[in-house]
Amino acid sequence: QGQLVESGGGLVQSGGSLRLSCAASGIMFRSYAMAWYRQAPGKQRELVARISGTGRPDYADSVKGRFTISRDNARNTVRLEMNSLKPDDTAVYYCNRYLTTLWGQGTQVTVSS
């Protein structure tokens, strides 16, 4: 069934940076596209970035040029590097095996103005 565990969230000032990591276990990691989603209070969960099994990234317009998604298939890890953070980026960030029901528990990112 598999498991995804996120880490790296926290509190940062506007303009700052954070790196999120997601460690996968129990799945054939390299075979799947992976994604990061986020959910802000009172809003629907939204796709932030996804990456194919071969490493091709795709981003939501709201984070293009600021966020970078990457994967390490040898370590079964997907990362999200977040720069130039804004208060609107405040949300719980979730790792997901793309288009499946396998989700991590989420990690809180809070950006203060």
Interatomic CA distance for residues 100 and 72, integer angstroms = 20
Q: For residues 78-107, give the mean pLDDT.
A: 96
Under 8 Å CB-to-CB from 57, ≥6 apart: which residues? 49, 50, 51, 68, 69, 70
Higher pLDDT, 100 or 67: 67
pLDDT for 31 equals 87
**Does residue 67 have a pLDDT over 90?**
yes
